[in-house]
């Protein structure tokens, strides 16, 4: 039997091994939830204007035949509130191989912690009946699900202090859009003032995942210039249309590795030491993004 077929048919064993090693599952919200003519909820991944996929890595806490219990996703110390019965897409990652499946949040559960620590609140997810192996070159796409990862533009940051002005501009633009939305108006009053700090040439990337204190991005080979000579970067993260202004944030390079297609995965840690109050702006926008996508899903069910 070919190795890839064997791994796909034995995905439950792979999942158990990840759990035994204290590993993680990747989860994301489907980009669009619609209904068939019969009124049955369905996921249409390629719907124009649908949300980008933010992926979180969540540790597997427990498993049984019917469910997988995982940590709640977090960003910069704040828990991302995923509601019960929300549909999710799960990803099993083993090396450079990935398998995707549909699931949903069954319940929030308390997991007893060892060593006298407080109980952990986890999410119990529905165990899939089958999974589908992702394409190697477009490795977050299968025949029934296609994820659209946010575009990230990375600039080598030359002067950290210059980022404060750009962060202030980003915050003001986001607040201006929010205030206009609350007033029932659509669109900006004028062109966006997307100020940038003192930076070098841009590099294109995709947002692979967001963790507790940073993010992982994937760069094509042509976009690798600058990683060897800089440690701090200015990121513009595109979450349009849910967040209409590209989210700008400083991040420091922590580690890199190259995959078999000569793409670079870069692990980044967000940096707020120069402007501590800006951390709440970033956290609020990411949480608001999740809230908007969930509300859209619940409205259509």
Instruction: Give me the CATH code for the 151-270 domain, please.
Output: 2.40.10
Q: Where in the chain is the domain with CATH 2.40.10?
A: 151-270
CA distance 43 to 53: 13
How high is the pLDDT of residue 194? 64
Who wins on pLDDT, 189 or 115? 115
pLDDT at 127 over 50: yes
CATH 1.20.950 fits 3-133, yes or no: no
pTM above 0.75, yes or no: yes
Q: What is the DSSP letter of 96?
A: T
- Asked whether the beta carbons of 258 and 201 are under 8 A apart, the reply is no
Q: Where in the chain is the domain with CATH 2.30.110?
A: 3-133
Contacts of 250 (CB under 8 A, 6+ apart): 157, 160, 163, 167, 232, 233, 234, 235, 270, 271, 272, 274
- Beta-strand (E) ranges in 95-169? 97-111, 120-126, 132-133, 151-156
Average pLDDT over residues 231-235: 93
Q: What count of other Cβ atoms lies within 10 Å of the Cβ of residue 163?
A: 26
How high is the pLDDT of residue 14? 87
How high is the pLDDT of residue 279? 96
pLDDT at 60 over 90: yes
pLDDT at 113 over 80: no
Q: How far apart are the first and last CA of the chain?
A: 41
Mean pLDDT of all residues belonging to the chain: 82
pLDDT at 2 over 50: no
Of 59-73, 79-93, 96-110, 127-141, least confident by mean pLDDT is: 127-141
Q: Exposed, middle or buried by CB within 10 Å (0-12, 13-18, 19+), for 278? A: buried
């Amino acid at each position: 039997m070919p190795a890839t077929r064997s791994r796909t048919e034995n995905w439950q064993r792979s999942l158990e091994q990840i759990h035994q090693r204290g590993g993680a599952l990747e989860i994301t919200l489907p980009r669009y939830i619609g209904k068939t003519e019969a009124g049955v909820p369905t996921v249409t991944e390629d719907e124009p204007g649908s949300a980008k996929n933010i992926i979180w890595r969540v540790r597997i806490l427990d498993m049984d035949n019917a469910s997988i219990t995982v940590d709640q996703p977090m960003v910069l110390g704040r828990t991302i509130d995923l509601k019960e019965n929300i549909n999710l897409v799960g990803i099993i990652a083993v090396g450079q191989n990935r398998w995707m499946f549909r699931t949903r949040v069954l319940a929030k559960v308390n997991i007893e912690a060892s060593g006298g620590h407080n109980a952990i609140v986890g999410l119990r997810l529905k165990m899939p009946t089958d999974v589908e192996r992702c394409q190697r070159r477009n490795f977050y796409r299968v025949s029934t699900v296609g994820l659209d990862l946010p575009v990230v533009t990375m600039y080598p940051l030359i002067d950290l202090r210059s980022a404060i002005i750009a962060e202030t501009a980003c915050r003001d633009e986001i607040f201006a859009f929010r205030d206009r939305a609350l007033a029932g108006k659509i669109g900006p009053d004028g062109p966006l003032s997307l100020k940038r700090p003192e930076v070098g040439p841009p590099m294109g990337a995709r947002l692979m995942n967001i963790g507790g204190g940073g993010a992982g991005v994937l760069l094509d080979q042509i976009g690798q210039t600058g990683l060897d000579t800089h440690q701090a970067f200015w990121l513009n993260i595109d979450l349009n249309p849910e967040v209409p202004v590209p989210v700008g944030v400083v991040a420091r390079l922590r580690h890199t590795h190259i995959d078999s297609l000569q793409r670079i995965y870069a692990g980044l840690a967000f940096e707020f030491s120069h402007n501590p109050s800006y951390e709440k702006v970033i956290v609020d926008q990411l949480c608001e993004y999740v809230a908007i996508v969930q509300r859209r899903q619940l409205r259509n069910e």
